[in-house]
């Protein structure tokens, strides 16, 4: 099975949920999982290898997704980042000028 620009969409539809699950299992974050999906399928398109079978293709895609997750977790950027939730209670946003007070959320 050869991966080409014409059949990549079919392959993407078939395996995107599985790759997303791998990413979400690692990061517990949908945005990071989406990044893993994107990087995995970009590598598949660039690689363009002739796979022996459907199982070979599936295993290759999953292995690339796992390796991509590992690569991200080892990056210095990933190790330095902190969740926004840790700072949510300290963030103070000024009230926009001219904003009608009835649209303000209650805090109780």
Q: Is the pLDDT of residue 60 over 60?
A: yes
- Range with the poorest average pLDDT among 15-19, 26-30, 38-42, 96-100: 96-100
* Residues in contact with 47: Cβ distance below 8 Å, sequence separation at least 6, in sequence order: 3
Question: pLDDT by residue (tens digit) across 61-97?
Answer: 999 999 999 999 887 766 666 666 666 666 666 666 6
Q: What is the pTM of this model?
A: 0.70
Confidence category of residue 108, pLDDT binned at 50, 70, 90: very low
Q: Is the pLDDT of residue 45 over 80?
A: yes
Is 14 among the domain residues?
yes
The domain tally of the chain equals: 1
d(CA 28, CA 21): 10
- Domain CATH for 28: 1.10.1740
What is the domain extent for residue 73? 8-83
């Amino acid at each position: 099975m050869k991966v080409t620009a014409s059949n990549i969409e079919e392959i993407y539809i078939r395996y995107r949920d599985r790759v997303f699950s791998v990413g979400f299992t690692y990061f517990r974050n949908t945005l990071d999982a989406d990044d893993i999906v994107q990087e995995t399928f970009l590598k598949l398109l660039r690689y363009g290898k002739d796979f022996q079978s459907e199982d070979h293709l599936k295993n290759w895609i999953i292995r690339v997704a796992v390796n991509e997750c590992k690569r991200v977790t080892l990056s210095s950027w990933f190790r330095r980042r902190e969740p926004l939730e840790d700072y949510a209670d300290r963030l103070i946003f000024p009230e926009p000028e001219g904003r009608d007070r009835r649209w303000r959320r209650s805090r109780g």
